[in-house]
Amino acid sequence: MIHLYIFEHLQNAYLSLRATRLRTLLTTLGVAIGVASITTILALSGGVTKVVLSQVNALGGNMTVVRPGVVSRNLDNFANPTIEQTYTTSTITEQDIATIQSIPHVASVAPLMILSNTLHSNVDNKHVPSTVVATTPDLAVTSELPIQSGQFLDPTLNRDSAVIGSQLSINLFGTAQSIGQTFTLRNQTFTVIGVLKYINNPINYNAVDFDNAAIISLESGKAFHQGIAQIQQIDIRADSTAALPGVMKSISNALTKNHQGEKDFTVLSGKDISQPTSRFFLAITSVMTVIAAIALFVGGIGIMNIMLVGVAERTREIGLRKSVGASSGNIAWQFLTEALILSLVGGVIGYLGGYFIAFAVSTMLPFNPIITWQIAAISLSMAVGVGVIFGLYPAIRAARKDPIESLRQYH
């Protein structure tokens, strides 16, 4: 008997929604915009996470990362999103690198000191803005950077050697074959000794686009900073996956001791590495999620508004239906079904529209949105939730109407 009523309510809802097409369309649009924003955000942020996560997985399960500061997931991050560790003094010191290197089961350690600078090419006197990474030779091992030609940094080499990304090589010298060429950075000349393979991995846990970066030795980097290493991250590989938890614990203990008991760093592994890749991105995502939630809320208010209008308009119909045998429950379900159809149709349109936006935006971004059933489920259940929450009150109001009073309207 229930399924019979459902069919009946669906038909009723279809007829009454068809009778007020424009109103229905506008209400649906309200929900659709909210759902579309949520879908877009989920698809894109899922895309980023997936990219980084797949890299971390590709490196094997023996990877851990130490970052300065404590990653907190509270609202302070969102209120002050642009302040990144790059611009503040790092809490990680060179001493920490040495400490980590001495921990058993640590296979390789690579600190990352990231500088943003303009490089001057010796060819055509070009000026190319680029990311400069000061690090140790171990980076090639920890991050598995492939060399296309030449070689990676080596402790035996001249301090003024550099390895550059293939795209940067093209930008600077017009060719990917640039070994032996020189460029200047803050009036200091560097010689290219190696070019990386084109890896097209602009988003990664190192937060460096290696295709567009120049890699110099840590000593050279320190020279730009009055001899102090400004380390944004330390990449560490344990000698086996099984040893990783122990290594992480030892690192944590050793560094806490180094820092006089102050735990002003974070040791991350696996999925955690990928999440706070960019706080800015995290903050943007959070703010957009809030905006999307507000949009959805406004859409819900639209539904409630239009349903209340519908209930008022159809007061007589409610009275009549009751007088021919409809129970209050029947009436409530009739109006709730209508609200649910509005929200669900809005949800489907919003879901499709959201992916349309996500794919349109992703043509300008270095990653693709992800399509998973979870996103569909979240989007549609959000829509249905909005329908239920905002449709319930009008439905109850309709159900509570007194048949005699209702039939007396507009006599």
> Could you list the residues that contact other proteins (CB under 8 A)?
1, 4-5, 7-8, 11, 15-16, 19, 316-317, 319-330, 403-404, 407, 411
Residue 27 or 171 with smaller CB distance to other proteins:
27
Nearer to other proteins, 282 or 326 (CB): 326
Identify any residues that bridge with 67 across adjacent strands, giving them in sequence order.
Answer: 266
Please report the beta strands in 208-322, taking only residues with DSSP state E, as ranges in sequence order: 213-217, 233-238, 265-269
Report the distance separating Cα 149 and Cα 137, nearest Å: 16
Q: What is the C-alpha to C-alpha distance for residues 11 and 28, in angstroms, rounded to an integer?
A: 18
Shortest approach of other proteins to residue 405 CB, angstroms? 10
Q: Classify residue 352 by burial, with Cβ atoms within 10 Å: 0-12, 13-18, 19+.
A: middle
With respect to other proteins, which residue has the nearer C-beta, 27 or 130? Answer: 27
| Least spacing, CB of residue 322 vs other proteins, in Å | 7
Cβ contacts of residue 399 below 8 Å, gap of 6+? Answer: 328, 329, 331, 332, 335
φ, ψ of residue 153 to 5 degrees: the values are: -60, 150
Q: Judged by CB, which is closer to other proteins: 154, or 402? A: 402
Return the number of the residue (252 or 330) whose C-beta is nearest other proteins.
330
Distance between CA atoms of residues 57 and 304, nearest Å: 47
Assign 148 to helix, strand or coil: strand
Q: Is 384 helix (H, G, I), strand (E, B) or coil?
A: helix
Which CB atom, from 150 or from 403, has the smaller least distance to other proteins?
403
Query: Are the beta carbons of 160 and 128 closer than 8 angstroms?
Result: no
Q: How far is the CB of 205 from other proteins (least distance, A)?
A: 60
